Amino acid sequence: MTLLSGAYVYEYQVRSMSDTVHLSLDEVQALALRVLRHHGIIEAQVQAMARVMTAGERDHCHSHGLFRLLTCSQSLREGKVARDALPTVEHRSPALVAVDAQCNFSPLAFELGSELLIEKTRSVGLGALVINNCLHFSALWPEVERLTQAGLCALIMTPSHACVAPAGGKHAVFGTNPIAFGWPRANAHPYVFDFATSAIARGEIDLYRRSGRTLPEGWGIDEHGAPCTDAATVLQRGAMLTFGGYKGSALATMIELMAGPLLGDLTSAESVAIDGRPGGAPRHGELILAFDPRFFSGRDPPTDQASAEALLQAISGQGARLPSERRYAARAHSIAHGVDIAAALHRDILALLD
Ligand code: NDP
Ligand code: PYC
């Protein structure tokens, strides 16, 4: 399949008809709703989770789309989730909203807290949303996009379950610790990046394992610290590696500190220790920062926008792609044509209803 978006052309792997199932986006959402309701989660949370999973599938972020029903179901089956708990929202200061997810999943906590975050940021210029005690399973870009839609810049980070070794080490200390940034643009999709500080998300390695593919070099090590390209070994006995060597390692450390102890919440090692093993959704905190551009430069906002656009044009004008361009192209395609999901994944999801 070829997706066209502006000057860009993205190629996607073509699967044979027999190993995929075609679904409209409404069918994706209906499937997510059905499975989540089957697990007895409170309805507001079901709706929030299904929105996030559908968005992941729609944007071809397969490691954080319907696939997440499997990991969330594992956490639910193991009794790790307070499935009927509602988040509590606290105005902690003029700039800071704190939401306690009460050991339920993060999407509802974000939805409830972000409205107040936007209000506070527009009033004081810089706002923070602290989420505690959440089971976090999603990509961060849906959250970033909610803030850029409100005209705000956003910076979001969260730890996960320890499964990533520090540069120079061989035992897992960090989670895959994603960090995401968003910059609103007047006449274009926002500039958004959102990536794990590990070489790749753990979910992606799990998708390699499920499809029997060999990992690229540099993603993982075995239990002795030797380079390893076998997904099951990396996941079960070895460790993942950070991206960019010591630089990714330092960023992962910052995320542990800023979204762990700073918020009075768990590090990735503490999260995995209380959960027993990696695999389900980790339980910890999340830090969401929002910036209202009207307060920062003290200049005319259109001048600043023009300078930002010149920067982005200098990147894309030479044929380099901006992060999220693939996603936006996938989104347009999925809205028009629906999505193909792996038949084996579809079967495993339906089995969750047994
Ligand atoms: P990638 O390594 O693919 O990096 C993703 C980011 O880099 C996207 O913004 C992507 O844009 C951009 N990108 C990728 N290739 C290029 C390129 N050639 N040129 C420019 N930009 C590029 O994904 P990860 O595996 O690191 O992360 C995937 C997802 O997993 C994220 O959404 C993250 O939030 C999520 N995650 C969540 C965790 C959690 O604890 N909740 C833990 C770890 C990861 P595009 O999308 O357009 O390709
Ligand atoms: O893919 O690394 C991952 C991940 C961890 C938690 C949610 N996603």
Radius of gyration of the chain (CA): 20
Below-50 pLDDT ranges, the chain: 1-17
- pLDDT tens digits, one per residue of 161-201: 999 999 999 999 999 999 999 999 999 999 999 999 999 99
Where helices occur in the chain by DSSP H, the ranges are 25-38, 43-58, 68-77, 106-124, 141-149, 202-210, 231-236, 246-259, 268-275, 293-296, 301-316, 325-337, 343-351
Q: Whose CA is nearest to atom 2 of ligand 1?
A: 200
pLDDT in the model for residue 3: 40
**CATH 1.10.1530.10 in the chain, residues?**
2-80+338-351
Q: Whose CA is nearest to atom 6 of ligand 2?
A: 137
251 alpha carbon, closest ligand: 1
323 alpha carbon, closest ligand: 1
CATH number for the region 2-80+338-351 comes to: 1.10.1530.10
Query: Which pair of tokens denotes residue 78?
Result: 């193991």
The 8-class DSSP code of residue 254 comes to H
CATH number for the region 89-198+242-295 comes to: 3.30.1370.60
Positions marked catalytic = 63-64, 204
- pLDDT tens digits, one per residue of 297-323: 888 777 889 999 999 999 999 999 999
Partners of residue 342 on adjacent β-strands: 20
| Residue 71 CA to ligand 1 centre (angstroms) | 19
| Residue 71 CA to ligand 2 centre (angstroms) | 9
- pLDDT tens digits, one per residue of 228-239: 999 999 999 999
With a 6 Å cutoff on the Cβ, whether 73 touches ligand 1 is no
3-state class (DSSP) for residue 327: helix
Which ligand 2 atom is nearest residue 202's CA? Answer: 2
With a 6 Å cutoff on the Cβ, whether 203 touches ligand 2 is yes
Position 202, amino acid:
R
| Burial class of 260 by CB neighbour count within 10 A (0 to 12, 13 to 18, 19+) | buried
* Nearest in space to 353 (alpha carbons), one of 21, 39, 23, 29: 39
With a 6 Å cutoff on the Cβ, whether 63 touches ligand 2 is yes
- For ligand 1, mutation pick of 194, 202, 315 (most atoms within 8 Å of CB): 194
pLDDT in the model for residue 12: 38
**CATH 3.30.1370.60 in the chain, residues?**
89-198+242-295
Partners of residue 153 on adjacent β-strands: 291
pLDDT in the model for residue 278: 64
pLDDT in the model for residue 1: 37
